[in-house]
Each structure stands twice: as C-alpha cells, then as structure tokens.
Amino acid sequence: MDRPIKEIITPIGKNKIIIKEWLTGGEAEQIEDIFLDDISVNVSDGKPQQSGNVKANKVRLATHKTIELTIISIDEKTDDILNRTLNLRDKDYQFILSEIDKTSELNKKKEK
C-alpha cells in the first residue's frame, strides 16, 4: 500500500527523516495494545467493569512502537530505526516526536 510520506530535517544534526503521514488501523492497534495489556474487563450483572492499572513505562513503550511504525528512514538508512532515533541529540529526538504528533493531529482534523 502506497501512503503519503513527509520529509523532515532535524534542527541540530540536520538528519533527513522520512515519516509516514498516517498509520493504518492495524498499526494504531499495535500501539493501543501496549496500554491494554495490563487492563482486564470483567462482566458483572451484564455490565463491563474495568480493572488494572497502566504501568508508567507503557507510555515509553508506546512511543517506541510509534517511532518504529512511523519512521521509514533516517539519513536514507532503514535498519534499526528505534536505536538510530534514540541515539540522536535530545532536541532532534523531541523534534521528531513533535512532527509525528503534528502529522497525527493534522489527519484527525482532516477526518472531521
């Protein structure tokens, strides 16, 4: 499936990053599953009751999964995307996350 992509350049290291402009439903579910892993739903008297707590590290795990699913390449390299991203300067890392968030928010606005 061909999807639109976006090229961004990190502000400090000037790394060329190619990201997908949107995720598929299946990819989004992979991210959601990280949070749902610790939650169970019990049915009592025909009414669902949720139990469990989301562990704090789940946010980081979800961020890592989002990086893996969204970034296509860093400086034209497609291997080991997560570690390549984590090894960038923090300001560049935060910039990439911000750009991923902007793309996600833009697509939500387009859908309305």
Which residues, other chains included, contact 93 with Cβ-Cβ below 8 Å and sequence gap of 6+? 85, 86
Q: With contact defined as beta carbons under 8 Å apart, do 28 and 65 qualify? A: no
- pLDDT averaged per 10 residues, the chain (length 112): 90 98 92 82 68 77 95 98 98 97 65 54
Q: What are phi and psi of 61, to 5 degrees?
A: -60, -40
Q: Where are the domains of the chain?
A: 5-111
The secondary structure of the chain in percent helix, strand, coil, rounded to multiples of 5, reads: 50, 20, 30
Residue with tokens 């750009």: 99
Give all strands (DSSP E) within 12-108, no chain letters.
16-20, 40-44, 47-51, 71-74
